Amino acid sequence: MAYLQTLVNGIVLGALYACLAVGFSLVWGVLNIVNMLHGSLIVLGGYLTFFAWQGYGIYPLLALPVVALLLFALGYALQLAVINRVVSEPVLTTLTLTFGLDLILYNFMTVYYTATPRRVTLDLGAIDIGGIVMPVDRLFGMLLALVLTALLYLVMRRSRIGRAIVAVRMDSAAAALMGIRVNRIYAVTFGIGALMAGATGVIFAMVYPVTTNLAGIYLGKAFVVCVIGGLGSVPGALAGGIVLGVIESFAGQFFGPQHALTVGFVLMLVLLVVKPTGLTGIKGYE
């Protein structure tokens, strides 16, 4: 029975992790860029949500589309203006560039918002189904995360833009020959990545304290989920997130909370060596 609770905890946590990682995975898989800004973008989404709630009483769910759009615009602009120039460069260049950009964003947020932990105090309580307790806000977050990832999946599969993104990912030269404006697609993809980060930030603001101190931790999780699940694939991020959530949950129970995080990272390293393409077997660029 206790195991069932642990499993449920893990799945709910895992859905949050999946939402966190899906934008990151997309950018990495399609653009071949490790977006070190991801954690900070999540926190930015969180701050926008918090101030909307505190200043204007706007319920986070309502703030979600606005925040998401704002961040999409930010990501799109950033990509077109700055990141586009290094898209085909080796990982050292791109990683360092996004790291530099992250330092700038992080610094401005810390100065402007200060690192004091903020919380959107909704206090929705928990529901109890047959002895298994599930906090309402996490459940809500999980549902939202699933909805968003499903939407993203549909967009990727069905819409023109989505298919263009997949085409560019598979072969950018061929895609260009087919009339796809590759640069624009790159910008849209990065924008989507930022949008998902922002949406995650909104969801997380309901569950976690909002503070720049957590940006690095979110980024670290994104890495691990992507390696576990496979890159550039929405189902991969979902699978990876849930697996990580469940593993951390059980590790926390069996090894003690002290070692829960270590297990995640060790797993990532092992997978990297043994099966870097992760669960879904989708190969990112080298």
Partner 1 sequence: MMTRRWHYVLFVVWVLALATTPLWASNYIVRLAIMIAMYTTLTLSWNFIGGFTGYPSFSTAAFFGLGCYAGALSQRSGVPMVLAWGIATLFVGAFAAALGAIILRLRGHYFAIGSIGIVEVVRLVVSSWGSLTGGGDGLNLPLLSGGPNAVARIFLAVMIAIMVVTFVVTVIVDRNRFGYGLRCIQQNEDAADMVGVDTTRYKVIAYFLSALFCGTVGAAYASWIGYIDPNDSFSIIMTIKVPVMCLLGGPGTVLGPVVGTAAFTLLEEVFWANFLDYNRAILGAVIVVLIFFLPGGLLGLSYRDIAARIAKPHRRPKTAS
Partner 2 sequence: MHFTTTGYASAIILTAGIAVIAISPRLADAADVVKFGAPLALTGSLADEAKKQDVAWKMWLAKVNAAGGINVGGKKLKAELVEYDYQSDGQRAGQLAEKLITSDKVDFLLSPFGSGHTKIVATIAERYETPVVACAASSESVFDQNSKHLFGTLSPNAGMFGPMVKLFQEKLPTLKRVAVLGRDDVFPKAMAQGVSAAAKAAGLTVVYDQLYAVGTMDHSAALSAIKAGNPDWIYVTGYTQDLILVRKQMSDLGLKAPIVTMVAGPAYKEYIDGLGNLANGITSSSWWHQATSYKGVGVWPTTEDFYKEFLAKEKSDPDYVHASCAAAAVILQDAIERAGTTDKKKVRDELAKTDVTTFYGPVKFSANGMNQGRDLPIIQVQDKQIKVLAPADIKNGDLSLIK
Q: Give residues in contact with partner 1 (CB under 8 A).
A: 28, 32, 34, 82, 85-86, 90-93, 95-97, 99-104, 106-108, 111, 172, 176-177, 179-183, 216, 220, 223, 227, 258-259, 261-262, 265-266, 268-269, 272-273, 276, 284-286
Residue 208 DSSP label = S
Based on CB atoms, which residue is closest to partner 1, 147 or 217? 217
Q: Can you list the pairs that 93-97 forms with residues at least 24 positions away whose Cβ atoms lie under 8 Å? A: 94/32, 94/33, 94/34, 95/34, 95/36
Q: How far is the CB of 113 from partner 1 (least distance, A)?
A: 13
Q: How far is CA 245 from CA 18, 28, 158, in A?
A: 9, 21, 29
72, 194 Cβ separation under 8 angstroms: yes
- Report the distance separating Cα 70 and Cα 62, nearest Å: 14
Q: 262 is written with which tokens?
A: 């270590």
Based on CB atoms, which residue is closest to partner 2, 209 or 235? 209
Contact residue for partner 2 among 138, 142, 201, 205 (CB under 8 A): 138
Q: Can you list the pairs that 133-136 forms with residues at least 24 positions away whose Cβ atoms lie under 8 Å? A: 133/5, 134/8, 134/12, 135/12
Q: How far is the CB of 105 from partner 1 (least distance, A)?
A: 8
Based on CB atoms, which residue is closest to partner 2, 97 or 215? 215
Based on CB atoms, which residue is closest to partner 2, 118 or 169? 118
Which residues 206-235 are close enough to bind partner 2 by CB under 8 A? 207-209, 211, 213-214, 217, 220-221
SS3 235: helix
- Report the distance separating Cα 83 and Cα 186, nearest Å: 10
Start-to-end Cα distance in the chain? 44
Q: How far is the CB of 208 from partner 1 (least distance, A)?
A: 20
Q: How far is the CB of 252 from partner 1 (least distance, A)?
A: 13
Based on CB atoms, which residue is closest to partner 2, 96 or 253? 253
The residues of the shown chain that bind partner 2, judged by CB under 8 A, are 2, 5-6, 9, 13, 107, 110-111, 114-119, 121, 123, 125-126, 128, 133-138, 207-209, 211, 213-214, 217, 220-221, 248-253, 256-262
